[in-house]
Chain A
Amino acid sequence: MLELQDISVIFHPGTIHEKVALSHINFRIEEGDFITIIGSNGAGKSTLFQTISGAIAPYQGHIFLHQQDITSLKEHKRSRFIGRLFQDPLKGTAPSMTIAENLALAGCQGHYFSLKPILAKQRQQMYEALKELNLGLEERMDTKVGVLSGGQRQALSLLMATYAKPQLLLLDEHTAALDPQTASKVLELTDKIVKKNQMTTLMITHNMQDALTYGQKIMIMKEGQIIDVINSERKKDLTVEQLIHLYSSKTNDYNDRILL
C-alpha cells in the first residue's frame, strides 16, 4: 500500500553541515503489515516517519500510497490517511481542551469548517471508544486533558490518532517516555486497536523485546539505510538474545541502551 522509491533526505545540502539522513531508501509496505523498526540514534528512523508524513520533503525519490504519488502532498492533507503518535505524551493532545473536545477534533477528519457543535451521538461514540481503553476516562469526558497523567494522555493520543481509522499508523517510540508498567499497557492497547482495525502500522522502538513481541516484521536501520528486514518466517523462532546478536553484528552497535 505504501511504497518508497529511491528516497533520499539530506539536511543542509551544499553546506559544511550537510548530513545525509536517508540514503536511497526503497521499500514496500503491504496492506495490514505491522512492522517494528529498530536502529541506533541517528539511523534515520524518525526522519523516515517525517518523510512519510510530509513534515520533511525528500531531496529525491517518490512516495506512493495506493499507487498514487503523494510526494508533494502537504502534511495536513496526508494526515487524513496517516495517523501519528510521538514519544512526548504532551504532543498529541491539546491540554486546555476537554477529553471530549480533543476526541471531537480527532473524529472530524477534514470537516474542520463545520459549524456544528458536538452532538449527543458523537459523545456516545466517544464514550464507547474511551471505555475500550479501560482507564475510566469515559467518566471524565469533560475533564481538561492537561490534568491527566502522561500515560493517560498517551493512551488518549493513541485513541485520537486511530479514531478516524487512518490507513497508515506511525508510532515513533510512543511508549519511551512512560514508566514500564504504563508502557506495556499502552503497547497492549496499541496492539488491540491495530488488530481490531487491521491497520497498517510502523512502530519505532528501542526495546528488543517489544520489537519481537509485536508486529510481523522487523526492520533494522543504520546510517540512513534499511540494512535488514526480518520477515515473519524468520521472526517466529527468534529470541531476544539472537535479535540483539543479529542487530549488533549488522550495525556494529553495542551500546547499553539497545541491550535493555
Chain B
Amino acid sequence: MLNQVVVIGALELGSIFAIMSLGLYISYKVLNLPDLTVDGSFTLGCAVSAVMTLSGHPVIGLILAFISGLLAGVVTGVLTTKLKIASLLAGILTMTGLYSVNLKIMNDSPHISLFDCSTVFTPLSVFGEYGVLLFIGVVVIVVTLCLHYFLKTQFGLALRACGDNEDMVKASSIDVDIMKMIGLSLANGLVSLSGAIYAQHQAFSDSQSGTGMMVIGLASIIIGMAFIKKDQMAYQLLAVIVGSIIYRGILTIALQIGIPSTDLKLLSAILVVVALILTKVKMRRKEVC
C-alpha cells in the first residue's frame, strides 16, 4: 500500500510545508500573534513562482516570491500595529485583499499549469528519485539554521520578548510595533517561499492553493510539540519540521486507505481539534499531579 514513491512524495510535501510551518512558528509561537495572512501569502508565493517559471526563471521566481511574502507580512503588520486593527482581522483583511492581487499576478486566470515547463526541480533528475527530496531538504536545513541563529541574536531576543512579555518590552527601549512588523514580514516571507516551491513541485498554481494553510501549519506545530517536548530553541524548530512531516504522513495514509481528497480539509480541522484537546488534557493532568 505504501510504496516507495508514495513515501518519498509524502516526505517531499512534508518538507515543503515545514518551511511554511517555520514561518507560522514565528508569528504564532514567537510573536504570539495568530496570523491569518498565511492563506493569502502562500497563494501569493505560488502565483509569483508560477508566473516566473512560465517565463523561464524558476529560481528568480522563488526569490521574488519570498520578497513579495515579506511585503504581504508588512501590510498585516502595519494594519495591526499602526492602525490598531485586531491581529486576527488584520490577517483576514490582507488575505482577502491578496486574493485579488494573486489573480492579477496570474493574469486573471484562476489556474496556471506548469506542465512541461522547466522548474528548479528539472535539473535534479540526475540525482534519480531522491533528487527532489534532497533539494527541499537542503532548503529546509538552511532555513532552520538561519532561523536558529537569528532567534539567538540580540534582534531575535528582542523579537521573542515581544511575544513573551509585552509589558516588559514596553518598559524597555524596544519598539514593539517595528518588531511585530518585522516578525510578521519574515513569517509570511517563509510561507510565500514554501508556496513558491509547492507550485513548482506540483507543476501548477491555483487561486485556491493557500486555503487552509494556516490550519495545516498550526496542526504541524501542535503535533510536533506533542512529540518533542524540550523547550530549547533547536528542539522547538526540529519539532515544527517533524510535525509537518508527521502531519503529511497522516494525510497520505488517509488518502491511501481511500478517504476522498475533498474530505482532507475536514480531516485537518478535526486533527487540530483533537491535538489541542489532547494537550489541554495533558496539562490538566500535570496540574493535578
Contacts and interface: CB of A to CB of B under 8 A. Distances in A.
B154 A116 contact: yes
A114 B175 contact: no
B114 to A, nearest CB: 36
Contacts of A80: 173
Interface string A92-104: 1111110001101
Given A95-B164, A95-B165, A84 B154 contact: no
Interface in B159-185: 160-161, 164-165, 167-168, 170-176, 179
Contact of A111 (B154, B160, B167): B154
B152 interface: yes
Given A55-B170, A76-B175, A94 B154 contact: no
A110 B173 contact: yes
A117 B153 contact: yes
A53 B171 CA distance: 8
Contact of A106 (B150, B172, B179): B172
Contact of B154 (A75, A92, A115): A115
Indicate the size class of the contact surface on chain A.
20 to 34
B231 A112 contact: no
A94 B165 contact: yes
A96 B164 contact: yes
Could you say which of A53, A105, A111 has the most chain B C-beta atoms within 10 Å of its C-beta? A105
Contact of B149 (A90, A104, A117): A117
A84 B155 CA distance: 22
Contact of A109 (B150, B167, B170, B173): B173
A86 to B, nearest CB: 8
A101 B157 contact: yes
Nearest to A118: B152
Indicate the size class of the contact surface on chain B.
20 to 34
A114 B160 contact: no
Nearest to B173: A79
A12 to B, nearest CB: 19
B106 interface: no
Given A95-B164, A97-B157, A114-B155, A84 B171 contact: yes
B158 interface: yes
A108 B179 CA distance: 15
A105 B155 contact: no
A85 to B, nearest CB: 9
B160 A115 contact: no
B155 A115 contact: yes
A76 B173 contact: yes
B151 to A, nearest CB: 10
A73 B118 CA distance: 55
A76 B176 contact: yes
Contacts of B164: 94-97
10 contacts: A76-B174, A77-B173, A92-B171, A94-B168, A101-B157, A105-B161, A105-B174, A112-B174, A112-B179, A115-B153
Interface of B: 149-150, 152-155, 157-158, 160-161, 164-165, 167-168, 170-176, 179, 231
Given A86-B171, A92-B171, 17 more contacts: A76-B173, A80-B173, A84-B171, A94-B164, A94-B168, A96-B160, A97-B160, A104-B154, A105-B158, A105-B161, A112-B155, A113-B154, A113-B155, A114-B155, A115-B155, A117-B152, A118-B154
